Amino acid sequence: MRVLQTIPFTFLRMSRDFVTLLLLLAMPIVLITVFYFILGGVTNEAGYPAFYDTAIIMTLVFQLFGGSVVMHFIQEDLLTLRKQRFQISPLNRTMYAFSLALCGTLFSMILGFLLLVYTSMVLNVEWGNWLWVMFVVSLMAILSTIVSLICLFVVTNFKVSERLTEVYGVGFVILAGLFFPMPDHAFFTFINEYVNPLMLSVDAVLYAMQNQMTLAWQSLGILGAWLVVMFAVMYVLGRRRLT
């Protein structure tokens, strides 16, 4: 309940940087639209438009980088520019940090929902069960926030923290084979089936679209397990850094 009391202030604080938030919303829409026109009427082996797979992957790719919003605000407000101001304010710094994480994650979820609506209504992508897709998007948004905070708490240099989050996002995109095909090796297969959050979330959505819910839940369960582990790490590191 104490976290909920800080949410109005957090929303007000984040709204002051609305230009950045709008750019984060506009960029995915522009990129997905460009891919829509590039792929045109190309179909995949299953016989449906190849753009469907691209739209699904791109929507989930942007969730990998959603935690940067939270990291930016916590860095400015609690660790550098406004640190002294918050130290003398009656606002609980730990609760405010959780509030920032919550609001930033909600923003990523809203972004995912808007991309879902846009690709479905405008670009005619068939997503299947929207509730399931949003469940997957939500887990990805939460995991991204957690990983970004771990990078922020474990390194004192903010620039290095930013680079680490980029390595996390871009690294898993590369391992997923989106830039170039990965070698057909057991190591890369294991990483993409049990570690890579992007591929786990994509598999969860695609399996659900094919009504293979057992496999969909399996992928989502592994993703959820990683989320729990990362949350425990973040909690320990956060208490040490913010207190």
The pLDDT of residue 29: 87
Place of tokens 């771990």: 150
Residue type, 169: G
Convert the pLDDT of each residue in 139-197 to its tens digit.
999 999 899 888 888 887 878 888 888 888 889 998 888 777 788 888 888 998 999 99
> Residues of 66-80 as b/e, b for ≥16 C-beta within 10 angstroms?
bbbbbbbbbbebbbe
**Which residue range forms the structural domain that includes residue 212?**
2-242
Convert the pLDDT of each residue in 54-102 to its tens digit.
888 888 998 888 877 777 777 776 666 565 565 555 566 667 777 778 8
Would you call 43 helix, strand, or coil by DSSP? strand
Q: Which CA distances in Å does 197 have to 17, 45, 57, 155?
A: 29, 25, 12, 23
Containing H/E element for 171? helix 158-175
pLDDT at 2 over 60: no
Place of tokens 């509030």: 99
CB 148 within 8 A of CB 67: yes
The pLDDT of residue 1: 45
Q: Give how many domains the chain has, as a whole number.
A: 1
* Of the candidates 61, 54, 234, the residue with the CA atom closest to the CA atom of residue 137: 61
Place of tokens 């320990």: 236
Phi, psi (degrees; rounded to nearest 5) at 91: -70, 130
pTM across the whole model: 0.85
Convert the pLDDT of each residue in 4-45 to its tens digit.
556 666 666 666 666 666 777 788 888 888 888 887 677 766
Would you call 197 helix, strand, or coil by DSSP? helix
